[in-house]
Amino acid sequence: MTRDPFVEGLKSGWQVVDASALTADRTLEADVAIVGSGAGGGIAAEILTKAGLKVVIVEEGPLKTSADFRMREADAYPQLYQESAARKTKDKAINVLQGRSVGGSTTVNWTSCFRTPATTLAHWQREFGLKDLTVEAMAPWFDAVDRRLSIRYWDLSPNENNNLLRQAAWKLGVSVAPIRRNVKGCWNLGYCGMGCPTDAKQSMLVTTLPAALAAGATLVHHLRAERLVMAGDRIEALDSVAMEAAGIRPLPWRVRIRAKHFVLAAGAIGTPALLLRSGAPDPARLLGRRTFLHPTTVSAALMDHEVRGYAGAPQTIYSDHYLENVAVDGPIGYKLEVPPMHPVLFSTTLQGFGEAHTQLMREFATSHAMLALLRDGFHPQSPGGTVQLRDDGTPLLDYPITDFVWEGVRRSWLAMAELQFAAGAKRVYVVHEQCAGYASWAEAKAGIEKLPLKNQLARIVSAHVMGGCGMAADGKQGVTDPWGRYRGLGNLSVCDGSLFPTSIGANPQLSVYGLAARNASRLAEELTKQPAPALA
Amino acid sequence: MDSRFRGNDGMDSRFRGNDGNMITRRQFIKAGIVGGAALTAAGLFYSRGLKEAPGSAVPPGLTSAGRTIIAAIVPAVLAGPLPASGEARSRAIAQTVDGVAVAVAGLSAAAQKELAELFVLLDIAPARALLGLWPGWEAAPAAEVAAFLQGWRESRLELLRSAYAALHDLVLGAWYGNPDNWPAIGYPGPAEILR
């Protein structure tokens, strides 16, 4: 039997408001209003609440907890993801997976934890003047998060999907390593992407948010933050609108939240969009720009034995070989991982239709899949995307794939195909509409060189949105300062992945947690004139 | 079904090219270019319609025209797993159309509006005539629908390729999200968690 600590907490009197049930406008007062309940908002909520501040957390998505998580894609994607897991960039070339329920992307991520790579921090120091963001200075924050979220190496065997990446890498002399995960008592089911049904995943839903709520914070879900109300260089209030239960359209009821300080943690699309809607100061025209995605390519392979990529911890092995064999500011590098394989995600990602597609799906249980996450934002020809607003005020990310990125796309297909053949693949299908499968590495090499690099022909995906409110020492380079304070507004902090001046070059959740812990602790000290409480 | 309409395999033979296939390909390109213009026009028409009737929200899910179109596309996309005939086939198609409607209703308002525009275009007679889907979707043979999908999949126009991708994802997502269709691919489904 499993219990649902969130449901138990609700019974014990936590202050949780479902805005979809409102029947009138409301006003709330707080010391700090936090927009977003994901990695950044969750960490900030625990630290600021424990510092004795009255905190209100606003979440646009629904409250769904382990009792709701049925491990079915048809339920999980509409409930737990932005735009039913079908969020697209403006030209529809990239499908973006992003969470949107209480806990944000931490509720649905695949539990991979990497500290911000030293090469990334060094680049930020050199190019953005972020002198204090060294490996050594960040280490205590990452140590605290490791303890708080039980981040550790996975001590069971990797599933066969991950094992094949390791076997292939060993065969080719490519470096490979295990992934640390934020889990406690994991059942090794493999359904992290649909919400953890056993609360083993140490997401914000079972860690920082319960801690903040138990300490007196208020959570309002089904509430869309629309606009910050500014008076001079200060924010007076957050204007927000209740969402209908299904979460697509707004209701007539508005909620105004007055606070002394505002923390934006709505993710790297949501945070810049809120600031754009609010007309936040942006003298250097940087807001919403330099938004990064780790554009991700996919290669499927048919093996001669069962892989069952749907079973077991989804990501336990990775390779940074192809990040490390290029200069950080040279041709684009990429990290290799594998995805969990479930029928909807796999079938919609695979090219083609009709009999050819059916043939591939019949081999579902013997298929392997690999991902290459391209490290964008470190080169002048990889400037990322721009968050824009639609007529209805909702955000749209314009991310043109540059030739510089496309060159890396082709290289990543070649590397993945070579690895999959080294692991014994009978046939390899890089995910491109004109790839009908290759029977050998030689055939793949020749075939991949000819694939046209065009939107939609190549399927590119992303699960990591970063940047748009980049930190920099100089206001000409970033809208936020090295502590995440928004320039030109006295009582506003950004506390999520939108702070990153480039992509991370690794799954970003731990980078968000570490930076949020550091910045929220500093903010707590400024607001209370007391030492900040320890996270763990 | 004609081999050139079989997804990946068919496409390779088309790129190698023989007379019959090249004619087919030219037809697709022609339909693609005009189709692209029509799609844009349908979008403008639709936007104007919205402005003339402020406050009239796009209904969730699929309209009846949308349902008819998806029902015609399902047998082409799912050639193979779909039951060959009879009650089982109609039921499987209807279930998949329902699944698509649920998925569409869960998309953002902006994405729902774009899809509504796509279905407006696909429903109008001139577009159906251009695509060779005449007289209507109800009567369109799966091979013709497959040829239309293949044309958009290979189109030189990004707009048509993305429309193909949307139809691809909606139909396959609805099919493989349905537990009835898991045994055929050897997917056992999630374990039962006792509560």
pLDDT in the model for residue B128: 83
Say whether pLDDT at B15 is over 50. no
Q: Which residues of A touch B184 (CB under 8 A)?
A: 361-362
Distance from the Cα of B80 to chain A's closest Cα (Å) equals 6
pLDDT in the model for residue A290: 98
Give this complex's ipTM: 0.95
- List A337's β-bridge partners, or say none: A371
- Residue-wise pLDDT tens digits, A125-159: 999 999 999 999 999 999 999 999 999 998 889 99
Domain ranges in chain A are 5-78+103-149+202-285+467-528, 160-186+296-375+402-454
Question: Rounded CA gap, A399 and A94, in Å?
Answer: 8
Say whether pLDDT at B16 is over 60. no
- Residue-wise pLDDT tens digits, A84-122: 999 999 999 999 999 999 999 999 999 999 999 999 999
Whether A84 has its CB under 8 Å from any CB of chain B: the answer is: yes
pLDDT in the model for residue B133: 74
Of the listed ranges A285-289, A380-384, A407-411, B120-124, the least confidently predicted one is B120-124
- Residue B193 belongs to a domain: no
| Banded model confidence at residue A379, pLDDT cuts 50, 70, 90 | very high
Helix residue ranges, H only, A106-241: 118-128, 135-148, 160-172, 208-214
Q: Note down the domain range covering B105.
A: 3-180
- In 3-state terms, what secondary structure has residue A479? coil
Question: Rounded CA gap, B145 and B134, in Å?
Answer: 11
| Banded model confidence at residue B135, pLDDT cuts 50, 70, 90 | confident
- Determine, for residues A248 and B194 on separate chains, whether the beta-carbon distance falls below 8 Å: no
β-strand pairing of A250-264 with A26-35:
parallel
| Banded model confidence at residue A233, pLDDT cuts 50, 70, 90 | very high
Question: Rounded CA gap, A230 and A236, in Å?
Answer: 6
State the fold for domain A160-186+296-375+402-454.
Answer: Cholesterol Oxidase; domain 2 (3.30.410)
| Residues near A334 by beta carbon (within 8 Å), at least 6 away in sequence | A297, A322, A323, A372, A373, A374, A375, A408, A411, A412, A415
Question: Rounded CA gap, A368 and A164, in Å?
Answer: 8
pLDDT in the model for residue B24: 43
- A5-78+103-149+202-285+467-528 matches A160-186+296-375+402-454 in fold: no
Average pLDDT, rounded, for chain A: 97
- Residue B185 belongs to a domain: no
- Residue B192 belongs to a domain: no
Burial class of residue B95, CB neighbours in 10 A (0-12, 13-18, 19+):
middle
- Residue-wise pLDDT tens digits, A236-252: 999 999 999 999 999 99
Whether A357 has its CB under 8 Å from any CB of chain B: the answer is: yes
- Amino acid at residue number A58: V
Q: Which residues of B touch A94 (CB under 8 A)?
A: none
Question: Rounded CA gap, A138 and A482, in Å?
Answer: 13
The b/e string for A147-157 (b: 16+ C-beta within 10 A; e otherwise) is ebbbbeebeee
- In 3-state terms, what secondary structure has residue A257? strand
Distance from the Cα of B13 to chain A's closest Cα (Å) equals 11
- Residue-wise pLDDT tens digits, A263-305: 999 999 999 999 999 999 999 999 999 999 999 999 999 999 9
- Residue B9 belongs to a domain: yes
The whole-number average pLDDT for the span B118-142 is: 86
Say whether pLDDT at B37 is over 70. no
pLDDT in the model for residue B134: 73
Helix residue ranges, H only, A350-458: 354-362, 403-422, 441-450
Q: Which residues of A touch B164 (CB under 8 A)?
A: 456
pLDDT in the model for residue B39: 53
Percent of chain A having pLDDT more than 70? 100
Residue with tokens 């408001």: A17
Q: Which of residues 413 through 472 in chain A touch B, CB cutoff 8 A?
A: 433-437, 454-457
Q: Which residues of A touch B79 (CB under 8 A)?
A: 353-355, 358
- List A256's β-bridge partners, or say none: A27, A239
Structure tokens at A235: 């924010």
Distance from the Cα of A524 to chain B's closest Cα (Å) equals 36
- Residue B143 belongs to a domain: yes
- Determine, for residues A70 and B161 on separate chains, whether the beta-carbon distance falls below 8 Å: no
pTM: 0.92
β-strand pairing of A218-221 with A55-58:
parallel
Residue of A nearest to B5 (CA): A354
pLDDT in the model for residue B192: 80
Question: Rounded CA gap, A241 and A253, in Å?
Answer: 6
Q: Cβ of B112: how many Cβ atoms within 10 Å?
A: 22
Nearest to B169 among A73, A348, A354 (CB): A348
pLDDT in the model for residue B194: 63
State the fold for domain A5-78+103-149+202-285+467-528.
Answer: FAD/NAD(P)-binding domain (3.50.50)
Percent of chain A having pLDDT more than 90? 98
Say whether pLDDT at A321 is over 90. yes
